[in-house]
Amino acid sequence: MSLLSPFLEPVANKAAAAVPIHWQIKGMHTFQNLKKRVGKREQPPVFKEVPLPDVSSLALEDIDVSNPFLYRQGLWHSYFKRLRDECPVHYQKNSPFGPFWSVTRYEDIMFVDTHHDLFSAEPIISLGPPPPGLEIETFIAMDPPKHDVQRQAVQGVVAPKNLAQMESLIRSRTADVLDHLPVDEPFDWVQTVSIDLTSRMLATLFDFPYEQRHKLAYWSDMAAAPPESTGGTADIDESFAASADMARQMSLLWREKEARKAAGEEPGFDLISLLLANESTRTMINRPMEFLGNMVLLIVGGNDTTRNSMTGGVLALNQFPEEFAKLKQNPDLIPNMVSEIIRWQTPLAYMRRVAKQDIELSNKTIKKGDKVVMWYASGNRDERAFEQDPDLFIIDRKNVRKHLSFGFGVHRCMGNRLAEMQLRILWEEILKRFDDIEVLGEPEYVQSNFVRGYSKMMVKLRAKI
């Protein structure tokens, strides 16, 4: 921060507040295109899928778990197992995302995650940087105290009392989706159930126009898929267009609620109303990158975990049919099974940190400023942490809530109880209607080193007699 920052920042914010956010994004897009024309814009990495080698054929220093095809090709398990066994804190100096440390054992991940005094979440949680011109600010990528203030402003939407009030609405919307599914004929579970249900929930949380709810899932997909950040497939021009559209619609929603509040109307209990009611965040819209970043965070946070666990649970019960039989005999196991699904799936593979000082971890010296990646996907399969074989899917697994998928410490996922409730209701309603969900062939997976997600999974339902 320069000495002039305290004086310049308010001026910059005032100027930014005068120009609608979506126009600012369009302006930045034009500027980036001009830089591209004169050869001044850095091109994002291009990832071309080729078969990856067996990990046993690689030298330790050549193992790169940032490859966005590792999950899709089903090799992530063997790669991470070798790192856990032979080099649990591993340095990769030549990845497309720059050098980084991988932390792969459960206990080491817990240490990093619970020491925000030693490891910073700033400036971003993905392995690579954001696309130039879209450097948003989100509270998950902020350190205390700023993180705590912004998180506290929206935490109330998932308070136990509010969750209890939401349950009947979530159940009715889940039932509506399930009641319209085809029986005894193939259909795509990802599009028809997982995406539609999570979009309905997001629309409820934001009080967003219900008929346009599909946009929320689309914006989330675009935000999580820049190639330079996660190895995904998002096109930069499409990302700018999606960001501008999201900024326009969310700004309109914010201004409408702001006007109603000013007119004395009782505020709702949606995320934007909560941000408007908090002294620290009520003017967030005047800080465009912070406003946009927190809208993205809340949309992505409400989308990826739930949506991919909805699909992952169906896949797991197909791969372990004895567990499906156990579930049908004892539906009381659903809450425990939900945690097991989230552990087994681990919808977000990691979170990134930056070391604030030199630190010794598992006999390795991590230097101040080094990138450190906590691989939750690996920690959730650590044989040292889970008494029963962690590669198995066991719906009555002991102590399953110790899984890492929601993180720990100050950045623990604030929506974890809501995600669990959505999944619990889904399975309660499935068991009322269907005797079997057969997965037809291999699912199609998302290209990413961050999101462990599905793009398509064909299934066939058999009705309960």
Tens digit of each residue's pLDDT (9 = 90 or more) over 84-116: 999 999 999 999 999 999 999 999 999 999 999
Is residue 68 within 8 A of residue 95, CB to CB? The reply is no
Q: What is the mean pLDDT of residues 292-296?
A: 85
Q: What is the widest separation between alpha-carbon atoms in the chain?
A: 73
Q: Is the pTM of this model over 0.85?
A: yes
Residue 228: Cβ within 10 Å count = 21
User: 231: Cβ–Cβ under 8 A, 6 or more apart, which residues?
Assistant: 45, 47, 66, 67, 68, 96, 97, 128, 447, 448, 449, 450
What is the pLDDT confidence band of residue 352, given thresholds at 50, 70 and 90? very high
Tens digit of each residue's pLDDT (9 = 90 or more) over 57-80: 999 999 999 999 999 999 999 999
Is a pLDDT exceeding 80 seen at residue 168? yes
pLDDT at 341: 98
Angle between helices 321-329 and 334-345 (to 10 degrees): 160
- Of the listed ranges 10-24, 46-60, 185-199, 439-453, the one predicted with least confidence: 10-24
